[in-house]
Amino acid sequence: MIMTPRLSKFALTVHVTFSVSLLGAVAGFLALAVAGLIGRDAQIVRGAYVAMDVTAWYVIVPLTFASLITGIIQSLGTTWGLFRHYWVVAKLLLTILVTIVLLLQMGLISHTARVAAETTLSSADLFEARISLVAHAAGGLLVLLLPVVLSVYKPRGRTRHGARKQHDQLALSKP
């Protein structure tokens, strides 16, 4: 079912809002991860990791799911479709990948925050975990930028399903 133009614009606005908010939240998370890794002040380091945990659970996770769900709704309600164009499928797969990696990282984020809240971290404490948090945040930010590029440039290329749908529509429109 194709959405009305007014509903389509509303759905697009909601999706773009969640997606851009997610980019900003991940950028903020990356800044906290870097501050936690290189910070010399124990209170700043402790605060950074506690803030990362709160940000991840209450901002990034909900925005990730909101972006995923609104993107699916948006694509299903427009002529772009969910599986008609490679760029839409790529956006879907990238968002699913980001969601899975995020959920897998949540335990590490919470563990690091708990340790930081209970003790003063030295530069050697949880070093690999802290590096991982920076790397995953930076990688996540880069991966989240790819759907933005795909949305703006919309590279050509239909999937088999999309080509078949287009063929069927053309056949129906001929007298």
How confident is the model over 58-117, as pLDDT tens digits? Answer: 999 999 999 999 999 999 988 888 898 999 999 999 999 999 999 999 999 999 999 999
* Torsion sign, CA atoms 50, 102, 98, 121: positive
Q: Give the chain's length.
A: 175
Number of compact structural domains in the chain: 1
Q: Cβ–Cβ contacts within 10 Å for residue 147, how many?
A: 22
Separation CA 60–CA 48 (nearest Å): 15
Give the CATH number for residue 168.
Answer: 1.20.120
pTM of the entire predicted model: 0.88
Mean pLDDT of 38-63: 96
Domain that holds residue 93: 5-173
Give the burial string for 17-26 (b: 16+ CB within 10 Å, else e): ebbebbbebb
CA angle, residues 86, 74, 56, in degrees to nearest 5 = 90
Q: What is the model's pLDDT at position 168?
A: 74
pLDDT tens-digit series, residues 118-174: 988 777 788 999 999 999 999 999 999 999 999 999 888 888 887 777 777 777 777
Please say whether the beta carbons of 144 and 26 come within 8 A.
Answer: yes
